[in-house]
Structure 1
Amino acid sequence: MAEALDAAGWVVRGVDRIPGRWTSVVGDLRNRPVRLAALQSADVLVHAAALHAPHVGRLADEEFRAVNVGATAGLLDDADRLGARRVLYISSTSVYGHALEPTDRAVWVDEQLTPLPRDIYDETKLAAEELVAGCAVSSATLRISRCFPEPPPVRARHLLHRAVDVADVAAAGVLAVAHPTVTGRFNISGPHPFHREDCLALSRDAGAVLAERVPDVVQAFHDQGWPVPDRLDRVYDSTAAANAFGYRPVRGVRQLLRDAAGGPGLSDRTAQLGSPSTTSVEPTS
């Protein structure tokens, strides 16, 4: 996201515990001098620093609360005191927790779905969301869907309904920063071909739905020797982000399949497939 903000014309000041290309301040955000150094003269706080799901069970719950909640509270307070005009918090669709578990049909995951946290990670990310929503500075939260590296067949399956490319995440962040009056919580996921009324069929015969909606994608799966899923348990919906600040994901399963095939093959369609650091930014002069 730092690179995308830089390309959009922002001066980026990144904070991390280890040096890196976009790390201007090295330190722990639980320390106030580090936060103040990061936020000095910043117009926007983009907060993505957190302990994540892989840390669950390896670190104490108190550590999660200190990093994910305590440091967030400190950042928000300091951002307000130093005159920041916008806060963008990077959360996760993991906060929906047990609500993601299907019953007789796939779960349609939009922002109306009530989160039911499963573990300390979900609990602390949701608690941080609440702090952001209640802060004095104009704020928005992006709930990012699955976006970590996976083997191509696994990644392709997830991109059908519950994953996003990091380039689309970065684009969403730039858009959210550029719309300072937009507030609330927004799912950020990749393009998909489904409608809410598909949920029952997706839980029974996802292959048939895919064959009807995106037959070229099904054929490309077959060409690669990748299994087409017979059932899907959920679909992440980013319509609210599209309506609020123009989010349009473009790097979905078709792009992955083109890459896997070694070049152009599948036709580009609409964004709907047929329908860890904290950064402060200031504008360039």
Structure 2
Amino acid sequence: MNILVTGSSGWLGQTLVPRLAADGHRVIGLDPEAGPTTSVVGSVVDRTLVHRLIQGEGIEAIVHAAARHKPHIETHDNSEFVAVNVQGTLNLLEEAVAPGSRVDRFVFTSTTSLMISQEIRDGKAGGAKEAVWIDESMTPLKPRNIYGVTKLAAEELCRLFNHLHRLPVLVLRTSRFFPEEDDMAHAIAQSGENTKANEFLFRRLSVEDAAEAHVVALARAKDIGFDTFIVSALTPFRREDCRALIADAPSVVARYFPDYRKRYASRGWTMFDTVDRVYDSSKAAKVLGFTCRTNFKEVLDGLS
């Protein structure tokens, strides 16, 4: 297939573009920043450019991973988020269904961040008695910042275009896979690697798994039509663990992984005292047919 990947110079794009090329696809990478996985430097906000690429390159599938992200809140105003995350998505969708277009599938990279309200974000500090179990049935969604609001609006555009034009669209709400440090409600003194390892229990995946989820979504989009999936490492936790997770997360982890404390001690690592949310990615496993390869057990087994 001829595939347009937006955000091709980003962390996901750098992994996804070569992965798709390895399968024999012709990939056109679009990003405002030049890079080895970007063939066209430009923005999804440029409707003329989007039209030229989709029509001129005979694009058959679109992976829309370009976005203004949460870290950009400190450096970009709200209108920039609307322009890129909402108008940019609309440009791609409209050109995908325009006369002469060959696009027959669309995969949108969304975020689990839009599912986190301020109340959830405050967690135990806000008086929560148990961790929040998060799956695709959660409603109403009340994103807490401009990033989440615009990504939710873009999801709704995807739903609308499937409804109006029968364009197959799959929305992937990915949890954390970026390498940078992030603001943590569960602040600990140890390294970022310690934090990331802990997060594989309930809110993280590897960038390789994120890319693979998009590959699977491209293959399954026409069969499914439209759907939304949380993409995150499968959690070992169960719903009945939620009260204990917010009160004493290390004890819950020890029930599932009795040797984790010994392995963590060898690195000087610690577990979060509390876990305020758990992303349930079982729908992706059951409906999409995708499960992350990397999980907490694999991370634990890699520790000496």
Q: TM-score w.r.t. structure 1 length?
A: 0.87
Residue 73 of structure 2 corresponds to 56
Percent of residue pairs identical? 38
Given that 1:205 and 1:230 are in contact with CA atoms closer than 8 Å, whether structure 2 keeps it comes out as yes
Alpha-carbon displacement from aligned partner over 1:70-92 (angstroms, at most 9, x marks no partner): 11101100011113100100011
1:15 to 25, 30, 36: 30
In structure 1, C-alpha distance between the alignment counterparts of 2:102 and 2:86, rounded to whole Å? 21
Aligned residue type for 2:283: A
Q: How many residues align?
A: 261
Q: Which deviates more, 209-218 or 159-168? A: 209-218
Match of residue 160 from structure 2: 134
CA contact (8 A) 2:116 2:142 kept: yes
Instruction: State which of 202, 210, 217 in structure 2 corresponds to 1:176.
Output: 217
Distance 1:34 1:107, change over 3 A: same
Q: Aligned equivalents of 2:17 and 2:302: distance in 1? A: 25
1:257 deviation in Å? Answer: 4.0
Q: Cα–Cα, structure 1 residues 113 and 218, in superposed 2: closer, same or farther, change >3 Å?
A: farther
2:105 is the counterpart of 1:105: no
Q: Are 1:239 and 2:248 an aligned pair?
A: no
Instruction: Assess if the C-alpha contact under 8 Å between 2:234 and 2:282 holds in 1.
Output: no
CA distance in 2, matches of 1:74, 1:138: 16
Partner of 2:6: none
What per-residue deviation string (whole Å, max 9, x for no partner) do you get for residues 220-265 of structure 1? Answer: 222221012222111111111111121111112344345554xxxx
* SS in structure 2 at match of 1:218: helix
Structure 2 matches for 1:75-114, cutoff 5 A?
75-81=92-98, 82-98=101-117, 100-101=120-121, 102=123, 103-114=128-139
Give the letter aligned to residue 28 of structure 1. S
2-structure distance, mates of 1:105, 1:222: 27
Q: Is the 8 A contact 1:47 1:90 kept in 2?
A: yes
Question: Greater CA deviation, 28-37 or 166-175?
Answer: 28-37
- Alignment deviations for residues 14-51 of structure 1 (CA, whole Å, 9 cap, x no partner): 10112222212111221123212332311111001111
Q: 1:226 aligns with which of 244, 269, 273?
A: 269
Which of 183, 190, 198 aligns to 1:157? It is 198
Judge conservation of contact 1:4–1:170 (CA < 8 Å) in 2.
yes
Structure 1 residues 6 and 217: CA distance shift in structure 2, 3 A: farther
Query: Equivalences for 1:23-34 in 2 at 5 Å?
Result: 23-34=38-49
Aligned to 1:273: none
Q: Which segments of 5 or more consecutive residues in structure 1 lack a partner in the other structure? A: 262-285
Question: Secondary structure of 1:15's match?
Answer: strand
State the TM-score, normalizing by the size of structure 2.
0.81
Residue 277 of structure 1: aligned partner: none
Is 2:60 aligned against 1:47?
no
Question: CA separation in 2, counterparts of 1:34 and 1:43?
Answer: 16
2:143 alignment partner, SS class:
coil
1:45-71 C-alpha deviation (Å, 9 max, x unpaired): 100111110111422211111111011
Higher relative contact order (CA 8 A, sep 6+): 1
Deviation at residue 218 of structure 1 after TM alignment: 3.5
